[in-house]
Amino acid sequence: GGCSKHHRGFRAFATGPLRLAVSKACGQDMQLYKEKLNLKPAGGGGGFAPHIDSPSLRVFTLGEPWAVETFVTAMVAIDDMTEENGCLRLARVPAGRPAWSEEHPPAHDKGDALGDPDAGGRAGGLEPADGAGFLWEALECRAADVWLFNGWVPHRSAPNVSLKGRRAVFFTYNPQSEGSVRELYYEAAAEKRRCFAEAALLAMHAEMEGRARMDAAYLSVPGM
């Protein structure tokens, strides 16, 4: 899984110079956990609501003995990122509030345990009250710029309303001390998606059978 598995250049960059840079910035050896290629088509594509990454990144690994807890993401801009094309926006936490962390988490959406792991089953969406007073700062940057943020930084983005598509890659790392679990993560993600798809298919079949029984009962009534 992941674009670096299928693209030699991404893989060499993510596991080589970028990993070393992230490790140096964090003061410890970091390992690639996952990555996401973010594509925002022109004319209103993309955009996501305020959220934090740590709860979302754990959705696929809940209950696993190897699950990691600490995440740092390196955003690599492929194109220039501007407010017009929906650049990342980071929240500056108001003075007087402790920075969010494992010890001081915000109230957030826990996600639907039985929901689509790529939609309603995700976690980490911020409750409106927790976003009160935030100053959202646009992270405008040039192509090839790299920015780091941890799993507790609130962020969001608006749709791309420009006339050109916008691309960025988000490489997420975890400390080596918590394990090198990239392959396990993608295996767990694939299994959770498979289970959801099977459950959704069974629910659809059950609904269709229920409607068929109702139709049959209706047609069996004399004069109908």
What per-residue confidence (pLDDT) applies to 117?
A: 58
The answer to whether the CB of 114 falls within 8 A of the CB of 62 is no
Those residues of the chain that have pLDDT short of 50 are none
- Overall pTM > 0.85: no
CB < 8 Å & 24+ apart, contacts of 95-101: 99/152, 100/52, 100/152, 100/153, 100/154, 101/152
What per-residue confidence (pLDDT) applies to 198?
A: 73
> pLDDT digits over 58-75, tens only?
877 878 899 899 999 999
What per-residue confidence (pLDDT) applies to 119?
A: 60
What per-residue confidence (pLDDT) applies to 169?
A: 95
The answer to whether the CB of 122 falls within 8 A of the CB of 189 is no
Buried b / exposed e along 20-44 (16+ C-beta atoms within 10 A): eebbeeeeeebbbbbbeebebeeee
What per-residue confidence (pLDDT) applies to 153?
A: 92
What per-residue confidence (pLDDT) applies to 168?
A: 95
What per-residue confidence (pLDDT) applies to 61?
A: 83
